Amino acid sequence: MSTDIRHIWSGDHIQKPGVTLNAGRLTMLYENGSIRYISAGENEIIRMIYSAVRDKEWLTIKPVITNEWIERGSSSFKIVYRCLYKSREVNFSARYLIEGQSDNKISLSFEGEALDTFEKCRIGFCVLHPVENCSGKPCIITHSDQSTETCIFPVEIDPLQPFRDINSMRWEANGTEFRLDFSGDIFETEDQRNWTDTSYKTYCTPQSLPSPSLIRKGEKINQKVILKVVRSFPEKKGPAVQQTITINPEIHLPLPKIGISRSTRDIPLTENEAGTIKNIGFDHYRTDLHMYTSDWKKKADLAGKEALEMGYPLELALFFDDGFLREVNDLIEWISSCNPRISVILLYHRTWLVTPLILTSLVTPLLKKAIPLLITGYGTNANFAQINFDRPESAPGDLICYSVQPQEHASDNTTLTENLQAQLHTVESARQFSDGRGIWVSPVNIKRRFNANVENYETPHTEDSLPPQVDSRLMSLFGGCWTAGSLKYLCESGLSGATYYETAGERGIIQGDLPSRWPDRFQSVPGMIFPAATVFKFLLQDKFLKVIKSSSSHPLKFDCLVLSDGKKTRIIAVNFTADRQNISITGIPGHAGLRQLHAGNYPDAVSDLKWIDNSPCTRINLIENLLLEPFSISFINTEWIVNDI
* Nearest residue to 445 via CA among 261, 632, 257, 273: 261
Q: For the ranges 237-246, 465-474, 511-520, which has the lowest average pLDDT?
A: 237-246
Supply φ then ψ for residue 255, to 5 degrees: -70, 125
Structural fold of domain 545-643: Immunoglobulin-like (2.60.40)
How many angstroms separate the CA atoms of 197 and 143, rounded?
26
Is residue 131 over pLDDT 60? yes
The predicted structure's pLDDT at residue 624: 86
The pLDDT of residue 143 is above 70: yes
**626-628 vs 581-586, strand pairing mode:** antiparallel
Locate the DSSP E strands across 587-631: 591-597, 618-621, 626-628
Does residue 454 register a pLDDT over 50? Answer: yes
Mean pLDDT of 634-638: 96
CA distance 383 to 189: 19
Q: What CA–CA distance (Å, rounded) separates 390 from 403? A: 15
Amino acid 461: pLDDT: 86
Beta bridge partners of 141: 149, 169
Asked if the model's pLDDT at residue 390 lies above 60, the reply is yes
| Burial classification of residue 463, based on how many CB atoms lie within 10 Å of its CB (0-12 exposed, 13-18 middle, 19 or more buried) | exposed
Please state, in angstroms and rounded to a whole number, the distance separating the CA atoms of residues 615 and 605: 8
- Strand spans (E) along 506-590: 508-510, 546-552, 558-564, 569-575, 581-586
| Mean pLDDT to the nearest integer, 104-116 | 98
pLDDT of residue 10: 54
Position 334 pLDDT exceeds 90: yes
Mean of per-residue pLDDT scores for the chain: 94
pLDDT at position 4: 47
Q: Does the pLDDT value for residue 179 go beyond 50?
A: yes
444 — pLDDT class (breaks 50, 70, 90): very high
Which 8-state DSSP code applies to residue 250? E
Percent of the chain with pLDDT over 90: 88
Span(s) in the chain for CATH 3.20.20.80: 254-539
Kindly report which listed range (25-34, 511-520, 633-642) carries the lowest average pLDDT score: 633-642
Topology of domain 19-231, per CATH? Beta-galactosidase; Chain A, domain 5 (2.70.98)
Question: According to the model, what pLDDT value does residue 622 have?
Answer: 87
Give me the pLDDT at residue 12, please: 44
Contact of 300 with 293, CB cutoff 8 Å: no
Cα 38 → chain centroid: 22
What integer is the mean pLDDT of 583-611?
Answer: 94
- For the ranges 327-331, 423-427, 620-624, 631-635, the lowest mean pLDDT is seen at 620-624
Confidence of residue 115 (pLDDT cuts 50, 70, 90): very high
Q: Helix 357-370 crosses helix 324-338 at what angle (to 10 degrees)? A: 20
- Residue 364 in contact with residue 371, Cβ under 8 Å? no
Coil, strand or helix: which one is 227?
strand
Outline which parts of the chain fall under CATH 2.60.40.1180. Answer: 545-643
SS3 95: strand
Amino acid identity at 531: P
For 342-385, how does the pLDDT look when each residue is reduced to its tens digit (9 = 90+)? Answer: 999 999 999 999 999 999 999 999 999 999 899 999 999 999 99
Is the model's pTM score more than 0.85? yes
Specify the pLDDT at position 6: 44
Q: How would you write 242-261 as a 3-class SS string?
A: CCEEEEEEEEEEECCEEEEE
What integer is the mean pLDDT of 288-311? 97
Beta sheet of 626-628, edge-to-edge order: 618-621, 591-597, 633-637, 569-575, 558-564, 546-552, 244-254, 581-586, 626-628
Helix (H, G, I), strand (E, B) or coil at 591: strand
Look at strands 257-261 and 285-290 and give their pairing.
Answer: parallel
What pLDDT, on a 0 to 100 scale, did the predictor assign at position 19? 95
Write the CA distances from 536 to 69, 146, 208, 258, 279, integer angstroms: 45, 54, 43, 9, 10
Cβ proximity of 144 and 167 under 8 Å: yes
Calculate mean pLDDT across residues 124-144.
Answer: 97
Helix (H) or strand (E) holding 425: helix 421-430
The pLDDT assigned to 238 comes to 60
Q: Is a pLDDT exceeding 60 seen at residue 5?
A: no
- Stretch(es) of the chain classified as CATH 2.70.98.10: 19-231
Query: Which phi and psi (to 5°) does residue 271 adopt?
Result: -60, -40
Q: How many CB atoms lie within 10 A of CB 232?
A: 10
Both ends of the chain: CA-CA distance in Å? 27
Who contacts 488 (Cβ-Cβ below 8 Å, separation ≥6)? Answer: 420, 550, 559, 560, 561, 572
Superfamily of domain 254-539: Glycosidases (3.20.20.80)
Flag whether pLDDT at 48 surpasses 90. Answer: yes
237 pLDDT tier (thresholds 50, 70, 90): low
* pLDDT reported for residue 236: 59
Cα radius of gyration (the chain): 25
In sequence order, the β-bridge partners of residue 77 are: 72, 100
Is the separation of the CB atoms in 457 and 450 below 8 Å? yes
As a whole-number percent, the residues of the chain with pLDDT over 70 amount to 96
What pLDDT does residue 239 have?
A: 62
Given a cut of 50, whether residue 145 has pLDDT beyond it is yes
- Report yes or no: 397 and 364 within 8 Å, Cβ to Cβ: yes
**Given this model, what pLDDT does residue 38 score?**
97
Q: Kindly write down the DSSP assignment for every residue of 508-532, as one continuous string.
A: EEE--SSPPSSTTTS---TT-B-HH
How many other CB atoms are found less than 10 A from the CB of residue 218? 10
Give CA–CA dist 438/91, Å, rounded: 46
| pLDDT score of 150 more than 80 | yes
CB 8 within 8 A of CB 475: yes
Q: What is the mean pLDDT of residues 462-484?
A: 95
For residue 242, name the pLDDT band (cuts at 50, 70, 90): confident
Query: What whole-number distance in Å separates Cα of residue 231 and Cα of residue 208?
Result: 34
Q: How far apart are CA 433 and CA 394, in angstroms?
A: 9
Q: Is the pLDDT reported for residue 645 higher than 60?
A: no
